[in-house]
Chains A and B, each alone.
Chain A
């Protein structure tokens, strides 16, 4: 007779154990629940949090980019020192 019929659940369990042999014995145990209690994104501090929020809000604005060519305060800039003018967001109908 079928002494060896494995329930679908047990078959799935075998699949999981095969993929992750180090999986803990007690899934409902302490580690798993602790992770549940701790849900939420962790930040380094409130400054980190506020920066992240600000970055999200400013996603639409063009990013400033690294100011490699910042020369103010050092000497009087020449046209070659100044960064390229960024192209307008709205191109003039007269252009092209």
Chain B
């Protein structure tokens, strides 16, 4: 159970892919250098570094366990030879430095090669130590620990486009940090009511705008997204924009609010749009239009007539993520039965694919899947009742430049690329 993948993220170049798991570990994969002669395939991803990011802790005040599960990983843009990423569990964010060592000093005068000190009286000549190549070693070390700033559970971290600050969001508050400063953070959103009995909504996700360093958004369990401008005030409790699709009151049911809860929000690379994921759909919003999304894609509408059992088995509370491709023309999200869906915003075509070893041979093109909602099931279709709701794809990521995707099933990571000619 410890290797249940809980987050997947490509770095800015796409060369590295990080995964976090329930056991608090981070595994980083690196793409092989492209083989110039084998132009028909891009480099494979191999394990580059593995380290234990977080350990379980005990909250003495509340007598609650603090899980070591990694909720999110976000990469910093590369500034030098080392790579940096932020990883967070429910309470603590850590800045990790991942660096390579491929040479070591040899030929010390006072030390043997194994590190033991030489008797100085036996040293008769002096030599200059030199660096000699060694097998590549990748080391991960924690550089900053940002702790004790969140009473509730952290759901998001997002690095600002200024590359100096970042935000962390929990159920009720959002904090702004400076990457160099660990003993202080600024609270920029606080939706905790004075009387907790009046609590009606929680923060579900937050993200900085990719280009405007003063702008961020946060989504709620009631299906709203608020855009805030940090120039307006120190505490951004009043939003600059409120994005909400009006609800049809005649369609309201017990489930309406639960399925409208937004589980993920992601800006497009261009910064002009943002995408939200709720239980049944993916919506694209134009930042200039608050009253409704510009595009809506149904992920698995056939589940609407299964909401009762999905509520009973808690699946209705599953938090699916979503992602954009590099050119913002395709969006992707996961579903059940190890299915994941892609929507082409230009052609309006969509596809359902499956991440499973039994049903797909390596290096073969994935076969599109189809779920039969009702009525006569065609050959090769899967009926709703035979979907496996334990096989959920919550985390997916798209390479920033290429058509390479990473899809996480419960314990496995799949990397797919599009067919090259």
Contact = CB atoms under 8 A, between A and B. Distances in A.
Interface in A23-71: 23, 27-30, 33-34, 36-46, 48-50, 53
Interface in B228-257: 251, 253-257
B253 A10 contact: yes
B125 interface: no
Given A29-B200, A37-B202, A49-B58, A43 B65 contact: yes
B254 A49 contact: no
Contacts of B9: none
Contacts of B65: 40-41, 43, 49
B135 interface: no
Contacts of B184: none
Contacts of B312: 16, 19
A17 B64 contact: no
Contact of B253 (A12, A34, A41, A44): A12
A11 B236 CA distance: 41
A2 interface: no
Given A36-B171, A42-B64, A43-B64, A28 B251 contact: no
Interface residues of A, number: 33
Contacts of B60: 46
B64 A16 contact: no
Interface string B72-98: 000000000000000000100000000
Contact of B63 (A29, A44, A50): A44
Interface of A: 7-13, 15-17, 19, 23, 27-30, 33-34, 36-46, 48-50, 53
B219 to A, nearest CB: 14
9 contacts: A9-B304, A13-B254, A15-B308, A19-B312, A23-B254, A39-B153, A43-B64, A49-B58, A50-B58
A33 B221 contact: yes
A16 B308 contact: yes
Interface stretch (B191-199, B264-272, B351-359): B191-199
Contacts of A30: 196-200
A68 to B, nearest CB: 33
A56 to B, nearest CB: 10
B188 interface: no
B312 to A, nearest CB: 8
Contacts of B197: 30
Given A40-B66, A41-B65, A28 B221 contact: yes
B258 interface: yes
